[in-house]
Structure 1
Amino acid sequence: MSNFFLLLQQELLLTAIIFVLLFVKLSAKEWNGKTVLSLINILLVINLAAGFFFKEKGTLFGDMYQTNDLLRLEKNILNLGTLLISLQAYNWLLKHKHAIEFYVLMLSTLLGMYFMLSSSNLLMFYVGLELASIPLAALANFDLDKKRSSEAAMKYIMSSAFASGLLLFGISMIYGMVGSVGFAEITAAASENPLFLFGFILIIAGFGFKISAVPFHLWTADVYEGAPVAVTSYLSVISKGSMLFVMTSVLFTVFSKLLFQWYNIVAVLAVLSMIVGNLFAIRQQNIKRFLAFSSISQVGFILVGMSGANAESYSSIIYFVLVYLFSNLAAFAVINVVSEASGKENIDDYKGFYKTNPALTWVLAVALFSLAGIPPTAGFFGKFFLLLGGASKGNYLLIIVAALNMVLSLYYYLRIIKAMFMDANETPVERVALNWSPKISMFVCVAGIVVTGIISGAYEYIYSLLK
């Protein structure tokens, strides 16, 4: 029994936090908003810290669930991102009547991602996926007085349902061929049988929807624009990051015998995602839509690294997701406080931003430099490791396309930096007053961008877990 609690430590602790929030909500006492948010952030800090202790390895539920040091690290990355998003959303949630419900939904999705990551069985994976997806539709609709938020929720739930349907259809075909949904049995029985390959392609299509890879990306920009900024950042970093972790693990282990087939698919998705993401990012005026297409382009670079199919590739993907977490959340932190203070979300609104908010301007600039892959930020090293991993297969044409897209992306990232530092604005964003909570989040993000780039220990540690 003690082994059960140690192996399920992270899941059980997160479940306990959800129940605590439900008890707080149902209690007769009227809780002060600041007290509630402070309590929740303390619980999230405890949840993050607990992930670094009692590192047990093993399986449960008839080998349907597994945990090890690598999976704990991936969960801790998601925990860190969730805590940072919570800190950034402080001002918005302080004014919201349903802050506790927001956290119950968000932590429920995080719990689903935990089970999805630890699954060694397609049934466990699918249950975790649904738990991670369905509450996100309610979160996308959390700006209750805005029609575009409801529209975002509708588009997300329809796209998510379609993606889940493809996944489930693919899983059913795999099960029909193998007679089992266990990863070990599927690995042993994997073959180039047309029916098995068709089921496998449907599973990759389902993954493509979840990570917003082209041509499965059409929902992304509309949902990012319509959802509250905190939910957009959660979708962009936590939801996408967890799915990339799972996709990498499944392709590298469960379907390793089909490497030739999925390498070609991943390479095509990578090229399409980089090109389409970059070309559409150039055209955007809304900064949330801009970051949506930016994230599609970043997925393309991750898929380039994934095409390497070795330990270096796996390490580079986890490292890049960590770097992407710091970079994207630093950008969303600024967008969050500006949107909450002024309601402005267009790129033109950031003209002259440096004159009124120099500190916030530098935070956003560092984030954009990292997303563009400019040294010495962590984003440069993240993309370098991805390209290095992809180059291990000798497909230098793919690497050349990725390098050209890195150059193209410089234009639209520097366009925003030029607007903030050099362009004039007759009605600039007024000086934004910050609480301690968003300040901490921004400091952690900027420190993460600098430290994980200059100090190589993060990548080396990740690689050591895969040896």
Structure 2
Amino acid sequence: MALDFLLLMKQELLITVIIFTLLLLKIGSDLSNAAVLNVANGLLLLNLLAGTVGNQTGALFNGMFFTSPLIVLEKNILSLGTLIVSLQSSSWLKKHEHVPEFYILLLCTLLGMYFMISAGNLLMFYVGLELSSIPLAAMANFDLAKRRSSEAAMKFILSSAFASGLLLFGISLVYGATGTLTFSEISSRLDGAPLQVFAFVLLLAGFAFKISIVPFHLWTADVYEGAPVAVTSWLSVISKGSVLFVFVSVLYTVFKPLAGAWYNMLFVLSMVTILIGNLFAIRQNNIKRFLAFSSIAQIGFILVGITGSSQPGTASVVYFVLIYVFSNLAAFGVVALVSSVTGREQVSDYKGFYKTNPVLSWVLTIALFSLAGVPPTAGFFGKFFLLMSGAGKGNYVLITVAALNMIISFYYYLRIVKAVFMDANEQPIERLAIPVYPKLAMFICVAGIIVTGLAGYVYDYIYSLSFGF
């Protein structure tokens, strides 16, 4: 029994051990920032490797916690993203006075995501969600000397508290309507009554805030711009990815009897989210705000895949999140390095970037091509499978709108590429030395963009683990 407990909660227990290890290092030693970074990256690599071996399927605590091969894969994707964020943030963290605290907050957030993904009960899910959200507010305020960082933290905590309130109210109504909070029992007690649909709407609103679905996206650009680049990349990729994993599971299993209702809701939300995200991305001059609205548009494409309500729906979402980890973090890796060394974050700053930094320019270009869905990058295949999943329901209007919006997205992604390679700049960004850790992170991202797109077995493996109805 003890062995089963250790194996089923292996990833959560290991993260807890790493958190306490870093806490003891902070209290009991006086290591340099470089040494702390080495230790933290080594422990994050160990956590990633440990997630690939000795995994079991089962449940604990009367079904409140469960794990499966798909859940393990989702956690490993988050672990990989966490390691990449840590590597590409080393230039910024080396100059910061609170490096151990940053990693402790980061790993507490990751631990909450693990519990959220493995939750078999709405209260367990809510506790995991709060554990993954509250430390993020402190992380958003980690540029302690900058007022806009404090502003970003305040906006994030207020919007997060509002979303959590809606979510908790929805959970209470679900309990009132069904008499249970256990995922496996809720589904059998849903009959489409108005109270149940209203409870689901509140839950959907809570999820929509967390993953920036329009019209619940208003906090996103301001928080992305004000937070440190490392935190912005974490919010954009890891935080949203974890909520998406749970969102798909909850829709396809817990609220399966209400599929007719939530399909219509997602139909409208996906079209609006793609359109608003694209139109506002065109107008942005700050690179972080640009990537914020880009991420909102990407969420719209993911919603298209979710509407497919099938095994390809689950597989396409998990596959796209994996691609998104590589693509978005590659772009943020370049932005993080430029911001850390020069402090420049405007799109116009990247004019003529290729003349002084050809390697970084190509990394950024490949990332933007993948985000736009340009073949043969992985992003093309990710969006293709999302659209094919959506087409499985015969919703060709939605597919047409999404396809047309892909053309719009080409414009604003290629606008950045044009600035990098073709535009002149009287004060170009100077030639930047790429430290070892950021260079390794960029290599992993570019390799991931190529391999996940061209190696068909990646999608096939995810498909074999997926579920649907």
TM-score class normalised by the smaller sequence:
over 0.9
| Aligned positions of 1:148-297 closer than 5 A | 148-297=148-297
Corresponding residue number in structure 2 for 1:383: 383
1:410 is matched by which residue type in structure 2? F
State the SS of the aligned residue for 1:59.
Answer: strand
How far apart in 1 are the matches of 2:114 and 2:185? 22
State the SS of the aligned residue for 2:31.
Answer: coil
Corresponding residue number in structure 2 for 1:395: 395
Corresponding residue number in structure 2 for 1:49: 49
TM-score, normalised via structure 1 length: 0.99
Corresponding residue number in structure 2 for 1:37: 37
How far apart in 1 are the matches of 2:431 and 2:109? 35
Q: Deviations over 1:221-245 (max 9, x none)?
A: 0000000000000000000000000
How far apart in 2 are the matches of 1:252 and 1:417? 39
Q: Deviations over 1:413-459 (max 9, x none)?
A: 00000000000000000011111000000000000001111111110
How far apart in 1 are the matches of 2:68 and 2:246? 14
How far apart in 2 are the matches of 1:125 and 1:315? 22
How far apart in 1 are the matches of 2:423 and 2:434? 24
Corresponding residue number in structure 2 for 1:456: 456
2:32 is matched by which residue type in structure 1? N
1:362 positional shift:
0.2
1:466 positional shift:
2.1
1:143 positional shift:
0.2
| Aligned positions of 1:356-371 closer than 5 A | 356-371=356-371
State the SS of the aligned residue for 1:66.
Answer: strand
| Aligned positions of 1:416-431 closer than 5 A | 416-431=416-431
Corresponding residue number in structure 1 for 2:7: 6
State the SS of the aligned residue for 1:127.
Answer: helix
1:6 is matched by which residue type in structure 2? L
1:32 positional shift:
1.6
Q: Deviations over 1:228-267 (max 9, x none)?
A: 0000000000000000000000000000011110001111
Deviates most, 133-142 or 176-185? 176-185
Corresponding residue number in structure 2 for 1:23: 24
How far apart in 2 are the matches of 1:423 and 1:414? 12
How far apart in 2 are the matches of 1:211 and 1:76? 20
1:180 positional shift:
1.1
Deviates most, 451-460 or 360-369? 451-460
How far apart in 1 are the matches of 2:262 and 2:196? 13
Corresponding residue number in structure 2 for 1:69: 69
How far apart in 2 are the matches of 1:32 and 1:138? 22
Q: Deviations over 1:145-167 (max 9, x none)?
A: 00000000000000000000000
How far apart in 1 are the matches of 2:337 and 2:145? 19
Aligned-residue CA RMSD (Å): 0.5
Q: Deviations over 1:264-316 (max 9, x none)?
A: 11111100110000000000000000000000000000000000000001100
Corresponding residue number in structure 2 for 1:118: 118
1:128 is matched by which residue type in structure 2? G
State the SS of the aligned residue for 1:159.
Answer: helix
1:24 is matched by which residue type in structure 2? L
Q: Deviations over 1:302-346 (max 9, x none)?
A: 000000000001100000000011000000000000001100000
Corresponding residue number in structure 1 for 2:436: 436
Kindly indicate whether residue 80 of structure 2 is the aligned counterpart of residue 80 of structure 1: yes
Corresponding residue number in structure 1 for 2:302: 302
Corresponding residue number in structure 2 for 1:354: 354
How far apart in 2 are the matches of 1:455 and 1:318? 16
How far apart in 2 are the matches of 1:399 and 1:66? 35
1:179 positional shift:
1.2
How far apart in 2 are the matches of 1:30 and 1:246? 40
2:329 is matched by which residue type in structure 1? L
1:16 is matched by which residue type in structure 2? V
Corresponding residue number in structure 2 for 1:92: 92
1:159 is matched by which residue type in structure 2? S
How far apart in 1 are the matches of 2:234 and 2:53? 25
State the SS of the aligned residue for 1:95.
Answer: coil
How far apart in 2 are the matches of 1:316 and 1:195? 32
How far apart in 1 are the matches of 2:36 and 2:423? 41
How far apart in 1 are the matches of 2:192 and 2:178? 13
Corresponding residue number in structure 2 for 1:146: 146
How far apart in 1 are the matches of 2:381 and 2:466? 19
Q: Among all aligned residue pairs of Structure 1 and Structure 2, give the percentage whose two residues are the same amino acid.
A: 64
How far apart in 2 are the matches of 1:319 and 1:227? 28
How far apart in 2 are the matches of 1:363 and 1:338? 13
1:34 positional shift:
1.0
1:80 is matched by which residue type in structure 2? L
Q: Deviations over 1:79-102 (max 9, x none)?
A: 000000000000111110000000
How far apart in 2 are the matches of 1:139 and 1:455? 36
How far apart in 1 are the matches of 2:71 and 2:210? 20
Residue correspondences, number? 466
Segments of 4+ moved more than 6 angstroms: none
2:25 is matched by which residue type in structure 1? V
1:281 is matched by which residue type in structure 2? A
Q: Deviations over 1:338-371 (max 9, x none)?
A: 0011000000000000000000000000000000
How far apart in 1 are the matches of 2:293 and 2:188? 38
Corresponding residue number in structure 2 for 1:107: 107
1:177 positional shift:
1.1
How far apart in 1 are the matches of 2:325 and 2:73? 14
Deviates most, 227-236 or 189-198? 189-198
1:104 positional shift:
0.3
How far apart in 2 are the matches of 1:195 and 1:312? 31
